[in-house]
Amino acid sequence: MIDIKFLRENPEVVKENIKKKFQDSKLSLVDEVIALDKEARETQGEADALRANRNKISKEIGALMAQGKKEEAEAKKAEVAASAKKLAELQEKEAELNEKVTTIMMTIPNIIDPSVPIGKDDSENVEVTKYGEPVVPEFEIPYHTEIMEKFNGIDLDAARKVAGNGFYYLMGDIARLHSAVISYARDFMINRGFTYCVPPFMIRSNVVTGVMSFAEMDAMMYKIEGEDLYLIGTSEHSMIGKFIDTIIPEDALPHTLTSYSPCFRKEKGAHGLEERGVYRIHQFEKQEMIVVCKPEESPMWFDKLWQNTVDLFRSLDIPVRTLECCSGDLADLKVKSFDVEAWSPRQKKYFEVGSCSNLGDAQARRLKIRVNGKEGKYFAHTLNNTVVAPPRMLIAFLENNLQADGSVRIPEALRPYMGGQTEIR
């Protein structure tokens, strides 16, 4: 969420940013929120004047009573009573106006970084760097669920009967491989200095609206009926929420955390050939990383975070590339974002396996995550990135490590987590 003071002083900058994100329907909101904010401040000023006058009269009443001037004191009391009704009306109006201002401010997109390429949607995202040599083997690569089924490692039919589409049973070596990848990713991040955490898997609505836009919330979150609780779509939500309404000593920064969680998503609008199988599902597990830091350090941490994911995939012999998200593909709270995509030998193209985002102070402003610095308090910057998210990562793993005889090679880094196995058959 943008600072209202910044918007008030730089309306044209905010409008230009909205245009860069191809959200022209929101342009009128800038003038609307400026007018509402002005009215709210004028209402507050009027209420403050009434409060000051009330305090002044109250002192006068005390003095009159001490002097035995009861009639004059009663007249002053009547004056206070009359102003009390007006004050209550002003306070109610002020609260309503401030609520309207906040609601609009939460729909106006964050100011993107100047380096972000301008484009309408993900088709205009820009490739940054490739890592590893993409290989297409001479033998045919089956669809990922077919590979899993050969190992008796997946049962979609039973899951469909139990929970519906978008769920699965993983079994045997495939289930073990899934857990091995998560455990390896956990230790990989611990070895890079991150603190391991298992967070709550449900969060309250004020945390949800603090970490994401209304549009994302509607498309992703499952609400617990009858309770102010939502199932998390990623542990980033719960991890950033950990710092809600806190003042962090500057010398305690940065906070670097890596978290494990199951994730639950509606996946509204998921479609197409590659949406079947376990590519887009309602439940999965994930290893995440988040950083809470000083504003001037967030660009450096952004580069470190996406590099962690690249390094992890390369340690498992999976070719990847980084893709910078263009302005139209950035969620409203994001300042800058990279996708990490893994090579698919079957599709002969890359597909997304992780996303790294710098959100500036947008989440911190919503959640009141402040830093106590030498020159006063300020809002922290927050960042997040996917370490690994099976089973999507399993698609890349199985396709890139499948051998001609149908066995799957286990890279050396993962063998300790697979009981020393060098391959699965």
CA distance linking residue 251 with residue 385, whole number of Å = 24
- Among residues 291, 423, 369, 332, the alpha carbon closest in space to that of 26 is found at 332
Strand blocks (E) in 266-311: 283-293
In 238-278, DSSP assigns E strands to 246-249, 255-264
Task: Show Cβ contacts of residue 77 under 8 Å, excluding neighbours closer than 6 positions.
Answer: 61
CB 412 within 8 A of CB 180: no
Three-state DSSP at 374 gives coil
Instruction: Supply the Cα-derived Rg of the chain in whole angstroms.
Output: 27
Dist. CA 105–CA 3, nearest whole Å = 9
- Strands, DSSP E only, in 198-254? 202-203, 222-223, 230-231, 246-249
Catalytic residues: 265, 280, 352, 355, 392
Quick check: 45 and 146 in contact, CB under 8 A?
A: no
Tell whether the torsion through CA atoms of 14, 301, 202 and 274 is positive or negative.
positive
DSSP code of 120?
Answer: S
Q: Which residues of 13-52 are buried (b: 16+ CB within 10 A; e: fewer)?
A: ebbebbebbebeebeebbeebbebbeebbebbeebeebee
Q: How far, in whole angstroms, is CA 299 from its chain's centroid?
A: 17
